A and B are shown apart, each in its own frame.
Chain A
Amino acid sequence: MAVTPRNCKIPTISNVDEDNGDRLSSLPEHIIHHIFSFLDTVDVVRASSVSQKWRYLYVSMPHLNFNIITFWSLLEEQEQRSIETTIKKFKDFVDGVLLSQNCSVDIQNFCLNYLKIGDDNTIYRWMNVMARRNFLLLAVAKPECSASFYNLKSLTLLVSVDESGQSIIQLLNHSPNLEDLTIIFESLDWSECWEIRDEVTCSTYHLKSVRLLDFGGSENELELVRFLLKKGVVLEKLSITWRRGVENRREIIREIKKFPTSSNVAFTFFKPGSNI
């Protein structure tokens, strides 16, 4: 292993130049993970045919980005591309990666962009797979062995057609140490009105920052905001990026500011398209 500079008081020479053939062999694993953390998990899996050393890179990746849009564009050149085949391949892919993930990996980011059609319960299944894995791990392995969702600090969720806010809450409950939550709203119609009862337990004890992107101010979105403000005991920041074409922003802002909060929350509102 290369010399890690962390906590070393006096810099030392690492023998990087012993073989100049493989620049990568001198790159520590956390750097490779860092580079690939910006990419889609598809890119990580494709990189498994780079070399023996990278054969199982995806198994140890602490950052997972599953994006069905990437699949859609990858399948573009195939003749029978359809939403159904894309979804099927995407499911196989996510299943494959999740099941082969090394259980001791401390997952730091889990990003899933999925299109849910009809009563497809895959998303719950994935959550259960991970939750069960944690459970097994906690029950069987050494207690200090860390389980994935417990270490999840940052989560980005694309919420598309979904019949209830339950899935979001369920996900939060599986991630008790979550600090940053980003939700991207799909501009599709919401099928039903959510009503999230205040008695619902939701572990948001560490949630400090919530970002809502493509926010349209629909009743369901507002209901979720209301709920998160009420439950977020250490919430510091709520930032909202508007969806294009939302006319009554002022009224919506006024309404949001009226919601009771459990902590001192700083609100920020961004123009459509701004990512920060």
Chain B
Amino acid sequence: MASSSSSSSTQVKKITLKAADGKHFEVEEPVAMEMETVKSFFVGNEDAMKDMVVPLLNVSSEHMPAILDFYRNHSEFRKRTPPPPAEEVKAFNEAFLENKSDEQLMEMIMAANFLNTKELLNFLTEAAANRIKNKSVEYVRAFFGIENDFTPEEEARIRAENEWAFDGLDED
């Protein structure tokens, strides 16, 4: 993708990231450095910056474009003066989550955890929380993909301990 033009001083340095399935992503250095995991890869090893491919073995290439998009936009929001209106950030965040399935959301949480970026992890975990807020136990199980390993008696007993907590929930 990069043209073979002479590297002018204004050109942003790129870092190549390799997703779990081997796909390469060229990322501007400041964006890549949003990820602590990538950053720590280079600490004390600045020479490695050149022509180095950083393997991100826990992140599938399916989620890389969205994750990079989040970093790019949010680092831009942070730098902008005056700060962007809350509605603009909200609109971006909502659009970001819109077509993501529960499973994709969980995978991205794992990726954010692996990449060690607080902002993205906070954002995604809050989104997950919103999806299970005031939902039934069955719904929460399905959301996390957990098997019910209680016997019916056990489950009934546990529910009886906090009976009231199961009233007045939202529809699944």
Contacts and interface: CB of A to CB of B under 8 A. Distances in A.
A27 B114 contact: no
Interface string A29-40: 001001111110
> Of A45, A74, A89, which is in contact with the most chain B CB atoms at under 10 Å from its CB?
A74
Q: Report the contact-size class of chain B (Cβ under 8 Å from the partner).
A: 35 or more
Given A24-B145, A34-B125, A76 B168 contact: yes
Interface string B109-132: 110011110000110011011101
A36 B129 CA distance: 6
Contacts of A89: 164
Nearest to B136: A46
B144 A27 contact: yes
A74 B57 CA distance: 44
A7 B39 CA distance: 11
Contact of B103 (A6, A23, A76, A77): A23
Contacts of A38: 125-126, 129-130
B115 A23 contact: no
Given A39-B133, A43-B134, A74-B165, A51 B113 contact: no
Contact of B58 (A13, A24, A49, A54): A13
A16 B166 CA distance: 32
Given A6-B116, A16-B110, A52 B145 contact: no
A49 B150 contact: yes
Contacts of A7: 40
Contacts of A14: 58
Given A21-B147, A49-B150, A49-B159, A42 B37 contact: no
A75 B164 contact: yes
Nearest to B134: A43
A123 interface: no
Contacts of B55: 11
Contacts of B116: 5-6
Contacts, number: 123
Interface string B128-172: 111011100100110011111110000100110010111110000
B35 to A, nearest CB: 10
A16 B58 CA distance: 9
B64 interface: no
Contacts of A47: 137, 140
A9 B129 contact: no
Nearest to B138: A50
A52 B129 contact: no
A99 to B, nearest CB: 14
B141 to A, nearest CB: 5
Given A50-B146, A74-B167, 17 more contacts: A5-B37, A5-B113, A8-B40, A9-B41, A11-B58, A22-B145, A27-B106, A31-B109, A34-B121, A35-B128, A38-B125, A38-B129, A47-B140, A51-B146, A52-B149, A74-B164, A78-B167
Interface of B: 37, 40-41, 43, 55-58, 86, 103, 106, 109-110, 113-116, 121-122, 125-126, 128-130, 132-134, 137, 140-141, 144-150, 155, 158-159, 162, 164-168
Interface of A: 5-14, 16, 21-24, 26-28, 31, 34-39, 42-43, 45-55, 71, 73-78, 89, 93, 276
